């Protein structure tokens, strides 16, 4: 009897990989943060209309751990496998027989989806195909695009980079009334470097698999009623 049990198991396995990925991500970022120096050079008041150099951020450029890249790929592959299992079970449900080489398509155009349907959605009926098409990136579902990118991580060495930012905290305090400074308040500015691993396509590594886990689970939940006896 077809079911989504194996698909949900893949989501659970992906969640386990994601837990490990978060720990490794934080470890890499912690090491990088310790070697990053934020220097604030500006002292005193900036005259109106003038621009002065406030400081700079100096940091090394170490490679991101290979293990981070591998586990990111494994995490995404589990989520993608969950969708593949779902399609395989839908094909059995709709056709009454196991189909060869079924696969959940990730298409960027309607034409691409039609081609993918012929290759990977054998045995899946039209209503289910239409439901799957609604999930495609060209219908505004970017999470599938990110899933395709992340699931190819294990094949590339240059997809992850370290993205640096600076968290700025300010505090305003009054000036001593006897101070000749014409301004009544002064501002203290504190800098703290913020580091995360990002993909060279421009999205952060850790939040993305969290979104994928949620979206894949929602997709399985949406199709689950089809498998009820």
Determine the 3-state secondary structure of 187 from DSSP: strand
Cα angle value 153/158/159 (rounded, 5°): 50
Of 167, 173, 164, 169, the closest CA to residue 190 belongs to 169
pLDDT above 90 for 55: no
Q: Which of 51-60, 92-101, 160-169 has the highest mean pLDDT?
A: 92-101
Q: Hey, what long-range contacts does 7-13 have (CB within 8 A, 24 or more apart)?
A: 7/82, 7/83, 7/85, 7/86, 7/89, 7/220, 8/82, 8/217, 8/220, 10/78, 10/79, 10/81, 10/82, 10/85, 11/78, 11/79, 11/82, 11/213, 11/216, 11/217, 11/220, 13/78
Give CA–CA dist 225/2, Å, rounded: 12
Of 38, 35, 31, the closest CA to residue 54 belongs to 38
> Do 145 and 137 meet the contact criterion of CB atoms below 8 Å apart?
yes
pLDDT above 90 for 161: no
Average pLDDT, the chain: 82
Condensed to tens digits (0 to 9), the pLDDT of residues 18-51 reads 999 999 888 888 777 777 666 656 555 556 666 6
In this predicted structure, which of 67-76, 88-97, 165-174 has the lowest mean pLDDT? 165-174
Per-residue pLDDT at 27: 84
Kindly report whether the global pTM for this prediction surpasses the value 0.95: no
């Amino acid at each position: 009897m077809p079911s989504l049990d194996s698909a949900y198991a893949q989501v659970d396995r992906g969640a386990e990989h994601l837990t490990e990925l978060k720990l490794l991500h934080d470890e890499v970022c912690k090491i990088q943060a310790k070697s990053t120096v934020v220097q604030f050079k500006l002292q005193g008041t900036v005259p109106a209309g003038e621009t002065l150099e406030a400081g700079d951020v100096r940091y090394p450029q170490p490679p991101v751990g290979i293990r981070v890249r591998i586990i990111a790929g494994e995490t995404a592959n589990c989520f993608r496998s969950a969708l593949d299992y779902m399609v395989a079970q839908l094909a059995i449900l709709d056709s009454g027989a196991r189909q060869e080489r079924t696969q959940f398509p990730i298409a960027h155009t309607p034409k691409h989806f039609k081609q993918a349907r012929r290759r990977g959605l054998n045995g899946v009926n039209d209503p289910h195909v239409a439901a799957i098409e609604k999930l495609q990136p060209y219908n505004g579902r970017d999470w599938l695009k990110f899933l395709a990118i992340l699931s190819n991580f294990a094949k590339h060495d240059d997809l992850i980079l370290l993205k640096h930012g600076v968290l700025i905290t300010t505090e305003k305090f009054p000036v001593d009334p006897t101070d000749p400074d014409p301004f009544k308040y002064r501002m203290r500015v504190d800098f703290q470097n913020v580091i995360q691993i990002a993909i060279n396509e421009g999205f952060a590594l850790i939040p993305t698999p969290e979104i994928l886990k949620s979206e894949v689970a929602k997709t399985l939940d949406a199709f689950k009623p089809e498998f009820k006896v």
